[in-house]
Amino acid sequence: MPIRHLSHRCRALCAAALLAAGVLAGCATGNGVPAGLDPVSSPEWATDMARFATEDAATPPPERPVVFTGSSSVRMWDTLAADFPEVTVLNRGFGGSQVRDAIWYADEVALRYRPRQIVLYAGDNDIAEGRSAAQVLADTQAFVTRIRTTQPGTPIALLGIKPSPSRAHLLGVQRDANTALRDWAATQRNVAYIDVFTPMLDADGVPREDLFIADRLHMNAAGYAMWKDIIGPYLVR
């Protein structure tokens, strides 16, 4: 049974078992992980990392891809490769994740592929779980540092947090986080901030319902088509 269908206690036990088996060995040692980083937000991600490893063993990943990673907005981008036919891309999103999870699992979702570029979408779930704009910025800075420590010079693109109708009550914090990310990225070499927030609002500053599926949180084809047009010019070919 998948870990996500078990009780919290059972999930924790499963994660401990996976750790003993070595699936989480890289994270357990803290190799390259900054001191003081909060623990992973959920033990469920161990299952996703094992799945990625299985997929890589069955079908060797492309060399030097542009790696997209982060939460469900990446994971559910089923047309990613078709949307960017002139770019070698690899989808390593794991739904529900937060920024700090991408740090803990940086080896599994990005570094092992020696990416020519990393595109990160995270922070959406962080804010939904009560983390502040300052925490999102600090964790994102730690993610960039984690990548730089192992693979200096790798271009990193940070996608702004999208405005979802179901999380419209969080627009203020999302704006603050996006502004902080944009301003910080502007001071960094090879770090780009990509604004997907503003284009997804209507004339009244409200999240556009037509860009989302029924849950009002995840995007539909129109939403991803918009992202394709916005993100495309930033990709390293």
Report yes or no: 98 and 47 within 8 Å, Cβ to Cβ: no
Task: Note the pLDDT of residue 35.
Answer: 87
SS3 label, residue 212: strand
- 127 near 161, Cβ under 8 Å? yes
Name the residue ranges covered by the structural domains of the chain: 61-234
Regarding the domain delimited by 61-234, which CATH topology (the fold level of the hierarchy) does it fall under?
Rossmann fold (3.40.50)
How far is it, in rounded angstroms, from Cα 138 to Cα 157?
Answer: 16
Q: Would you give the distance in Å from CA 14 to the centre of its chain?
A: 24
Q: What digits encode the pLDDT tens for the residues 126-156?
A: 999 999 999 999 999 999 999 999 999 999 9
Q: What pLDDT, on a 0 to 100 scale, did the predictor assign at position 31?
A: 62
CA–CA distance, 220 with 9 (Å, rounded to integer): 34
Q: How many CA atoms lie within 13 A of 139 on its CB side?
A: 30
168-196 tens-digit pLDDT: 999 999 999 999 999 999 999 999 999 99
Determine the pLDDT at residue 5. 39
Comparison of pLDDT for 19 and 211, the residue scoring more: 211
The 10s digit of each residue's pLDDT in 31-87 is 688 888 999 999 999 999 999 999 999 999 999 999 999 999 999 999 999 999 999
Res. 21: pLDDT tops 90: no
